[in-house]
Structure formats: structure tokens, C-alpha cells
Structure 1
Amino acid sequence: MSTHTRLTDLTVRLADTALVTAPFHLADGARLDSYFDEYRLAADPELLRDTATAMADLVPSDARLLAGIELGGVPLVVALSAATGLPAVFLRRRPKGYGSRRQIEGASFTGRRTVIVDDVVRSGGQLLAMARILRMAGAPVTDALCVLERPLGGRALLAEHNVTLNSLLTEADLPTPRKGGAE
């Protein structure tokens, strides 16, 4: 089976499993008519493994660490870490309020070229904020990776801050979403 055929098959499987036509409200108050449900992807072990395997080809060869953003990026970064052999860290939006009080958990990250991983990129604001946190902590970030890129300016915003976005799929790659909410 060719790489193109495998990606086409994976795209159909991702759409069948995780693309939902139902209202979805963004943090900025905007509303989408369909959304990518990363929890459905993460809940399907075969689909998660196959997605991570496909994403592994997008990881730069000089990357030394993967960073998953809570919550959607965490299962992806765990699967991608297993597929690539690269260690991982997990990023909270805010430092934990108790215990370690850390915002970054996992492997040692200082000085390691880091790729940020998330499920969907829209405006790029969340990825940019996480890149800044990692950079301030000593982890050079020049790349980000996502399953799905929606054309809402994220690629351009990240590029302005020297972060290259690599997406497995864009919104244009997806077939028509299925109807309904969670099963």
C-alpha cells in the first residue's frame, strides 16, 4: 500500500471517528458548526497508533523532545513518543496549584530541541503561548505538529514567531463530517 493510500485511508478513519457536525463553542466565544473530537481519536487505540505513526514522519530529524499540550495533545504525544522513541513532556496551561506546582512535567527539557504537539490548530495562540513557556524554561522550540489544521491564521501567527507548523491534515483534506454528538 502506498503512503498516499495509507494517508487517504487514515483520513477517512479519522473523519469517521472524530469529525462531528454539532455546535462547538471556542474559548473566544466563536462557534463552529463542526469540530474534531480528539477524545474519540484518543479512545481508539488502533487509530491513535496509526495517527502517531503517520505524524512521526513529520517530526524534524534533529528534534530531541516532544511536548504535548493538555488535554488533547497528551495522548497524541504519548503515542508519538512511542512511535519515534523521543522522550516527552506534558504542558499545563497554568502551573499546577498543588504538589509540584509545575507547568512542565516529564523528561528533562533544558537545551533539547522541542516539537510541540496538539490535536487541532486554529488561531495558533495556544501553541504560541506554550512555545514561549518552553523557550523561557530553556527548551528551544522551532516546530509544532498537529493532526488537523483549520485555516484560522495559526500557521501565519506561529511563523511570525519562528515556529514552523507541520500538520498531518488540513480542513480541506477532510470529507464531509458526520452528524451528531457523542455516542
Structure 2
Amino acid sequence: MDTDLAARIHRAAHLTGTFRLRSGVTTDEYFDKYRFESDPVLLRDVGAAVAALVPDGADALAGLELGGVPVAVVVAQVTGLPALFVRKRAKEYGTCRLAEGGEVAGRRLVVVEDVVTSGGQILASTAELRALGAVVDTAVCVVDRESGGRESLAAQGIELRAAVTATELRATAG
């Protein structure tokens, strides 16, 4: 773990209060991804850390709407891999595509997300990408909240690789 990066993410993004997560769980701790994604220096360093997690043999990155997109763009800059932008649902006009920026069929995609709690959006998006012919067996993220996402993804054949975990972020708060 890069303790300096973890401390910087914690300082920028850790909030306390009462928050409802996408999973429906209520928590007193929240990692506001937009706070590290909107800081160009911190985002560059986050991107470098996430890029180191991308497995060999990947054809492209699949950044999930909305928070995974800026991370995927920076990781693409570091790795040289193309970035695709995956919507929560295919748009109903124009190209009517789920993933913008290139084809998915027959390509090994690495899903890119910002913060993972239950892994629900990764599971939903991966199912759709696989239905379109993509090979997806790895997801990378900035923060793993350690709330069951890793296990849910593993049950569907997806390995989660995180730059930092919630435990590591909390350890830097002292």
C-alpha cells in the first residue's frame, strides 16, 4: 500500500455523517470520489496506482458511469490502453450503445470503478458487457469499502483489485 496516497485520498474524500449508499446501506462514513477525481494532481496519482493493477493481456478499459470514467481516462493515459465509457443503461437515441468509444465484442475488458461497496454496478455492467461478447474477469477500483463487493464479484468470476481499502484509508487518519 502507498500510505502517502492513501492519506491524501482520505484527507480529500473522507466525510462523516449519515449517508445512504447505492447498495441501500446507511453508513456514517463516506468516501466522496468526486473530491479525489476533481483534483488533477491527486487523480493523476490515483490513476498511476490503479494502472499498476491492470492485468497483462487487457484489450481495453471499461470505465463505469459516472465515477469510473475519469479514473479510466487517467489509467488509459498511463497504460496506453483505450478507454470505453459504459453507461448504466444503453442510451435510447443516437448510437443506442451501452459502451461508447469502441467495440466490446471479443475484447478482454478491465472494468474500472471508483469506489466499490457491494459491487452491484460492476455486476450489472459486467453481465451486459458479457452479453455483448466481451470477456471480463477483472475489475479495478480506487477504494474497496470492504463491504462484500470483492466476494460478490468473485462469485461471478470477477477478481477485484483495489488501489486502497477502507481499512488502509482509516489507518492513515491518525
Report the counterpart of residue 19 of structure 2 in structure 1: 24
Q: Choose from 98, 104, 107 the match for 2:99.
A: 104
Report the counterpart of residue 181 of structure 1 in structure 2: none
Q: Choose from 43, 51, 58 the match for 2:53.
A: 58
How big is the shift at 1:167? Answer: 0.7
Contact conserved, 1:34 with 1:177, CA < 8 A, in 2? no
Distance of 1:150 and 1:72 partners within structure 2: 15
Report the counterpart of residue 33 of structure 1 in structure 2: 28
- More moved, 99-108 vs 145-154: 99-108
Q: Does 1:8 align with 2:8?
A: no
How big is the shift at 1:162? Answer: 0.7
> What is the 5 A alignment of 1:116-127?
116-127=111-122
- What is the TM-score of this pair, normalised by structure 2? 0.93
- What is the TM-score of this pair, normalised by structure 1? 0.89
Contact conserved, 2:23 with 2:117, CA < 8 A, in 1? no
Unaligned 5+ segments in structure 1 are 179-183
Q: Choose from 36, 42, 53 the match for 1:47.
A: 42
Query: Percent identity between the aligned chains?
Result: 47
Report the counterpart of residue 77 of structure 2 in structure 1: 82
1:53 is aligned with what amino acid? A
CA RMSD of aligned residues (A): 1.6
- More moved, 91-100 vs 162-171: 91-100
Q: Does 1:113 align with 2:105?
A: no
Distance of 1:121 and 1:54 partners within structure 2: 16
Distance of 1:148 and 1:165 partners within structure 2: 11
Distance of 1:23 and 1:112 partners within structure 2: 41
Unaligned 5+ segments in structure 2 are none
How big is the shift at 1:28? Answer: 4.4
Distance of 1:155 and 1:41 partners within structure 2: 22
